Amino acid sequence: MNALATFTKLDDSTRTRIQQWLDGAYDQETKNEITSLIQAGKEDELNDAFYRDLEFGTGGLRGIMGVGSNKMNKYTVGMATQGLANYLKLNFPGETIKVALAHDSRNNSSYFANVAADVFSANGIEVYLYSALRPTPQLSFTIRHFGCHSGVVVTASHNPKEYNGYKAYWNDGAQVIPPHDKNIIQEVQKISSVSEIKFNRNSSLVKILNEEVDEIYMNMIKNLSVSPEIIQRQSDLNIVFSPIHGTGVVLVPALLKKFGFTNVHLLSAQATPDGNFPTVVYPNPEETEAMSLALAKANEINADLIMATDPDADRVGIGVRNHKGQFQLLNGNQTGALLVSYMLQAWKEKGLLKGKEFVVKTIVTTDLIEKIAASYQVKLYNTLTGFKYIAALIRELEGKEKFIVGGEESYGYLVGDNVRDKDAIASCAFIAEMAAYARDKKMSLFDMLIDLYVQFGFYKERLVSLTKKGKTGAEEIQQMMKDLKENPPATLGGSGLSKIFDYQKSVQIDIATGTQSPIHLPKENALQLLTHDGTLISARPSGTEPKIKFYVSANLPLASKAEYDATATKLDAKIDQIISELKLK
């Protein structure tokens, strides 16, 4: 096309991709959209859409929706599905291969899930496809329930509305991990032409799933309840729940009712599934802004507890009344510590702790959880960041040790091992059960949290996320990690450096002696600095975004509840000092 030749910003590979889409076996609507962009002189948009192929990373796809090789559309989803189908056939020769498919409330999620069903079935693979939106953890459960070999959920989690994504799972119900992740990527990369993608659905191989699996999934969670008699006494616990326009609305209210809670207020302003997320900037319960409507409702009706889930309902944020009677949003570390403490105490009271149980957290999640587990003589395991590593550990220990609960600081938790991904549906039920347990003891969840701080130390954490875009940004992130490894600070927050944990080299270094010992985890570009007073700084480049994240955790003894505010101020000042010393502002 002559008009294409007049553009100056497009490199040769970008021009080639555009021409391939104009000449290839793409539908006319797609070609018309590309032609319109060319005729309108939208060079920047064309460049963004075609400068590369949307990467099928270790977790699948995630990108802005639209036409082009670098966008989420029928063809990029089709290519990913064809590659996964090819890999499944290589791994399970001679077997009747089955996959499960689910999707969230995002724009085009249902469409992309159906595209995946088309491609899988066209390749002779049996498909279990949900007829409407369902949570990510239910997809994980469905894979295990039907004995599927793989599964896909179409979601971009808590990303802005322009995004969508495609997460691939293996036969244990967990997101794919090595070696499968890299091997699937290789199969996707082998596809050289869109004509290799089989789009013609074999309807005889597609089974549509409806509410019947919902009941099985919810009953499984209900059977994990540890304190049903307490819920019966505290059934009127005043709860506000928001699905933030996502999939949580399908199951959370129904599950809370099944658990016995009778006073649940669904936040109507955010109850309707909507991929435009009209009431929030980001559909992320980690953001205070996304929780503002729930907070207002909770104050209006004098609620005891706020819970809100992200669009695919694998993360949950909560709000509780603090020691001043005001609502306070808890971070992921606080909620995780409370949930671990409650589950272990409840198991102990019921005589369920037999000495073979364990809990799991990630390396960047609060060490308060480790202290709590030790007090119950329950083993704690640390994994790399990402719930797929928690799931891998559960699989490894299956039949040998009993998993109770686990979580990560990014608002993801799991109770029981029937699901192999973070599960906000089950978490909402157990957070409510935990709140009922506290109320039964004439306490609030915040009282329980302060009691943990008095017993084990007041742990305070803060996340600093720095965005560094483009090639220069990537180089800057690499340099920051290199500098920290080669020239670590001698002191941080007034305390000398004690140990360095280099996860890329899998070594732990003792600063005083210089001795090194192995870290028995997969290699990852992450670094931790531990000081003599127990302050821990973790640095980790994001694997999916142009960001580097720093997790700062400081702790001090807490003598009593009366000392809470003063100690919190000291910890904030210490964290501020460390952030300044590391020049993270």
Task: Show which residues are catalytic.
Answer: 157
Output 502-508 pairs: Cβ under 8 A, ≥24 positions apart: 502/527, 503/363, 503/384, 503/527, 503/528
Cα–Cα distance measured from residue 456 to residue 452, given in angstroms and rounded to the nearest whole number? 6
The candidate with the shortest Cα–Cα distance to 277, out of 184, 415, 388, 163, is 163
Going from the C-alpha of 23 to that of each of 15, 46, 65, 195, 528, the distances in angstroms are 12, 16, 22, 12, 51
DSSP 8-state class, residue 106: S
Which amino acid would we find at residue 3? A
**179 prior amide bond cis, ω within 30:** yes
Q: E strands, 419-483, where?
A: 458-467
* Matching residue, tokens 């531990």: 530
Tokens of 158: 């808590």
CA 7 to chain centre: 40
The candidate with the shortest Cα–Cα distance to 66, out of 80, 93, 47, is 47
| φ, ψ for residue 162, nearest 5 deg | -70, -15
Residue 460 · residue 256 · CB < 8 Å: no
The candidate with the shortest Cα–Cα distance to 240, out of 271, 281, 280, 276, is 271
Give, in degrees to the nearest 5, the angle at Cα 472 between 471 and 478: 95
| Helices and strands in the chain: count of H runs, count of E runs | 19, 23
The candidate with the shortest Cα–Cα distance to 434, out of 331, 547, 326, 320, is 320
